[in-house]
Amino acid sequence: MKQVMNSVKKKAVEKQRTAVLRLEMDYELATLFEAMGENNENKKKESKEKLEKIRQELLNLKAL
């Protein structure tokens, strides 16, 4: 029974983390869009790096 409860808790935490990551991804995409409009290369690079980290974490959670 303890294993079942731990499994349920783990899935709930993963689901919550996935939701947070998706919000972060939306924000970074908006930031990247803004940087592209401003033609700001540094901002674009930073956003792309953050998006790559988010993508990797989502892949680890098997949410993509």
Q: Tell me the pLDDT tens digit for each residue of 2-47.
A: 787 787 888 888 899 999 999 999 999 999 999 999 999 999 999 9
Contact 48, 33 (CB under 8 A): no
CB 29 within 8 A of CB 38: no
Task: Say how many domains are in the chain.
Answer: 1
- Better pLDDT: 5 or 52: 52
* Both tokens assigned to 6: 């731990």
Tokens 């970074």 map to which residue? 28
Q: Which domain, by its residues, includes 40?
A: 1-61
CA distance linking residue 59 with residue 36, whole number of Å: 26
